[in-house]
Chains A and B, each alone.
Chain A
Amino acid sequence: MSLRTLFDKIWDAHVVVATPAAPALLYIDLHLVHEVTSPQAFDGLRSRGLNVRRPERTVATVDHSIPTVPGGLADPMAAAQIDALERNSREFGIRLFNVDDPRRGIVHVIGPELGLTQPGMTIVCGDSHTSTHGAFGALAFGIGTSEVEHVLASQCLLQQRPRTFEVRFEGALDAGVTAKDMILGLLSKIGVSAGAGHVLEYTGPVVRSLSMEQRMTLCNMSIEGGARAGMVAPDDVTFEYLAGRPWSPEAFDGAVTRWKTLPTDAGALYDRKVSFDVTGLTPMVTFGTNPGMGMSITGRVPDPDQCGDAGARSALGKALQYMGLTPGEPLLGRSVDVVFIGSCTNARLSDLREAAHVFRGRRVAKGVRTLVVPGSQAVKRQAEEEGLDRVFKSAGAEWRESGCSMCIAMNGDEVRPGEYAVSTSNRNFEGRQGRGSRTFLASPLTAAAAAVTGRLTDVRTML
């Protein structure tokens, strides 16, 4: 048997049909569904008279457009989408974690916390941040609505085999530097399209030392580097996380034995490799309008005139104009209007603990609107049991119900035109957090520090 990577093993185990004339037909173990990218797919099934082939492998929840204010009402169009998901789930026999269900939350937060996400699986969802689930050693990627319909009807997808790309992190992280800073650091080096056509595998001692929640942050933003999927090989950290979760396998020891065969064989080859040394890595922040435009919080905004290539020069110039930033200026000390701590990137319990660590005994700066939005209702309950909600509230931050909230700004939580937000989410695109919004992506620690000081701050001075 030839030497294989983690990706190769999962791919090979899921190919249903391989013909030279067409892409492979790949079997999907778990299909996650949400309200925004599914209604047209269910309509497609109805118009063809098809059923959902494996409803027990399909799980739905509402996250994108639901309000985060308790008892809040969705706007009529969002409400119609939520109603449609409720109707479709009932009609097709799919489990739905609806608005009132204590298990609901952001789809990429609840899959892992319920134990639905498991090593070796193929997992898809009509959402690009499905890459998050790769943290468990699963092959997980986002799909469009037509493909959602394909999976509902056939439990399969037509896929070209992607190439493999090892991202090896060397060195060790300093205090105050997190998985979010690792991925923003990586993206600032490789850019936003290097991963196209590839599946990333994150390796190296730093990755092994990360908790499952940090690994999820890392894999979550693989798509920001152009890769549909990012993975971390499963190990004892993975197995300990999964033990005792509601949907974890009943024969757990047997499952662990199988999962232990998944990691990349020593000596297996990747199509591409990059290594990134985190020694000396500082908290990172983005300055531009894509997640690859990131820098050290202590650095200076780059100058378009220093760009070698004309395309990069014009993209950077346009981004700085949108952001209202001047080449060469430091970002430390720049005042901000909004702080958002949330999203599938950074709204798990450990993220909230880190933010609370900074807020404890401090107050949110005057005039800074600060939202803390837990990733799921379970995260919310756990945070409240630990008293984190009281830390946030007594600091002057708003403590909300779970949902995607201000990451995608579909539910009324948005940044106003021209305002600056420090956000723990994943995208700083023009208008992403509301028309005219200007986003600085950062870690929960850095976001909390900005909330307290009202300015972009090096959180290491506050720990």
Chain B
Amino acid sequence: MKPFRRISSRIVPLLERDIDTDQIIPARFLKVTTREGLGDHLFEDLRRNPDGSLRPEFVLNRPEFREAVILLAGENFGCGSSREHAAWALSGHGFRVVMSRSFADIFYSNALKNGLLPLVLSGEAFARLAQAGGSGEEIHVDLPQRTVAWSDGSFTFTIDSFAGLCLEQGTDQLGYILGFEQQIAAYEAKQGAGGGS
């Protein structure tokens, strides 16, 4: 996983609340056996007409946001299905940060495992960044410093320290888990054949 340090970008504002993972990546694109290529279908039904042509009014299709890697979304982003394809589609498109007032639990966990920073905002910060999104202003996210800054202001954010560290270092969580082999084996021995139940 790519370590996450600092990112500067415009903000893509997609301010509706409760954007579900079926919006992020419709189920018909889940018939894949790899993680690749899903970025092409990110927000497919919002981004394209049924004939495949782009819907110019959709925010992601606006030329000023072509290079943007920060998404600002309404509360409860990523609700619904557990599909990690949602995180793969966002990072496949190039996003590195999703900011929202709140995230659905499974999406939040999936994002962290894919080098995608889910950043929880206060109401005040959300309002200010929505404004920045609208004006195309560039903002700066610094994960080690836990700051978000723009031309004339900044705020600090919090993230669970383990999650933050894993993102900063690009830590492979499975490697970390396997480091507990002895404890896992001891747990299993204690439970016996009946297991943990």
Contacts and interface: CB of A to CB of B under 8 A. Distances in A.
B88 to A, nearest CB: 9
Interface residues of A, number: 77
B22 A23 contact: no
Contact of A193 (B18, B27, B162): B18
A196 B102 contact: yes
A352 B118 CA distance: 42
Interface stretch (B55-63, B75-83, B90-98): B75-83
A282 to B, nearest CB: 25
A78 B31 contact: yes
A438 interface: no
B36 to A, nearest CB: 10
Contacts of B162: 21-23
Given A154-B174, A228-B106, A193 B79 contact: yes
B16 A314 contact: yes
Interface string B106-145: 1001100110000000000000000000000000000000
A188 interface: no
Nearest to A259: B197
Given A16-B187, A143-B82, A144-B113, A311 B76 contact: no
Contact of A128 (B18, B26, B106): B106
A115 to B, nearest CB: 12
Contacts of B28: 409-410, 435
Taking each of B20, B110, B177, B196, which has the highest tally of chain A beta carbons within 10 Å of its own beta carbon? Answer: B196
A207 to B, nearest CB: 22
Contacts of A175: none
B106 A408 contact: no
A382 interface: no
Interface residues of B, number: 54
B30 A410 contact: yes
Interface string A23-46: 101010100000011011001100
A214 B38 CA distance: 37
A193 B76 contact: yes
B13 interface: no
Interface in A249-272: 249
A14 B16 CA distance: 38
A118 B194 CA distance: 12
Contact of B82 (A127, A197, A409): A127
A75 B31 contact: yes
Interface of A: 13-14, 16-17, 21-23, 25, 27, 29, 36-37, 39-40, 43-44, 48, 50, 53, 57, 64-65, 75, 77-78, 80-81, 84, 118-122, 126-128, 130, 142-147, 149-150, 153-156, 158, 160, 162, 192-193, 196-197, 223, 226, 228, 249, 290, 311-312, 314-315, 318, 408-410, 417, 427, 429-432, 435-436
